[in-house]
Amino acid sequence: MASKQHANWSPYDNNGGTCVAIAGSDYCVIAADTRMSTGYSILTREYSKICKLADKSVMASSGFQADVKALQKNLAARHLIYQHQHNKQMSCPAMAQLLSNTLYYKRFFPYYAFNVLGGLDSEGKGCVFTYDAVGSYERVGYSAQGSGSTLIMPVLDNQLKSPSPLLLPAKDAVTPLSEMEAVDLVKDVFASATERDIYTGDRVEIVIVNAGGIRREYTDLRKD
């Protein structure tokens, strides 16, 4: 009995990479490596996976970068319309829901994008939202997505141990670490993931959102 003929062409490709975000009491750290690859080859060592969607919302996405680019354009356009209609920037929780709806809109031909959204909520506290490819999202204290996520999440779980948002009474999800300590943890965690994941490396781009605005830092990683 012949099995069904499967397509030899796939509309998706995986460009690899890892994204991490950590929420603090008055800051949010969003980081992603800058390597873009396909199969066993490197396409470029200097590709930014991080996109500023609003004043206090920054998204990092790994997966298929063509879909990520399309998703970023889509969200930027919707944010512009919002600004024209409401005369203000979108808050981070509002942007989080917009991203979820945008992803679910393409439930039957998904964006191959694994996203983490980070920023400050309306109270100025750090917030991180983590997504799957079709829009299921949750506000968390920290998250990792992408090829190195399975290597990084256990370390973050051990060091940050954020309580689940489903616990009652509601506990603060943000980490008590200072901004400097969080950035140090992110650098170390990326250096470790780079050792064991072939798709992570080259450089890590770290974006820090706090009351003073948005700041960018870069650290070198192994290039092999």
Partner 1 sequence: MGVLVKEAIDVPPKGGFNFDLCRRNEMLLKKGVQAPSFRKTGTTIVGLVFQDGVILGADTRATEGPIVCDKNCEKIHYMAPNIYCCGAGTAADTEAVTDMVSSQLQLHRYATGRESRVVTALTLLKSHLFSYQGYVSAALVLGGVDVTGPHLHTIYPHGSTDTLPFATMGSGSLAAMAIFESKYREGLSREEGIRLVCEAICSGIFNDLGSGSNVDVCVITKGHKDYLRNHMLPNPRTYVSSKGYSFAKGQTEVLSTKIMPLREKVELGRDV
Contact 162/142 with Cβ under 8 angstroms?
Answer: yes
Structure-token pair, residue 69: 């680019």
Q: Which is nearer to partner 1, 47 or 190 (CB)?
A: 190
Q: Which is nearer to partner 1, 72 or 147 (CB)?
A: 147
Residue 45, CA atoms < 13 Å, CB-side half-sphere:
10
Q: Least distance in Å: CB of 126 to partner 1? A: 20
Q: Which is nearer to partner 1, 30 or 120 (CB)?
A: 30
Report how far Cα 76 is from the mean position of its chain's Cα atoms.
16
Q: Least distance in Å: CB of 206 to partner 1? A: 12
| 221 C-beta neighbours (distance < 10 Å), count | 21
Residues that bind partner 1 (CB under 8 A): 37, 40-42, 147, 158-159, 181, 184-185, 187-188, 190-191, 194-199, 219-224
Q: Least distance in Å: CB of 221 to partner 1? A: 5
Q: Which is nearer to partner 1, 124 or 184 (CB)?
A: 184
Q: Least distance in Å: CB of 18 to partner 1? A: 11
| Cα–Cα nearest to 35, from 21, 61, 16, 19 | 16
Q: Which is nearer to partner 1, 129 or 190 (CB)?
A: 190
**DSSP element (H, E) containing 23:** strand 18-23
Q: What is the 3-state secondary structure (H, E, C) of 92-160?
A: HHHHHHHHHHHHHHCCCCCCCEEEEEEEECCCCCEEEEEECCCCCEEEECEEEEECCHHHHHHHHHHHH
Q: Least distance in Å: CB of 191 to partner 1? A: 4
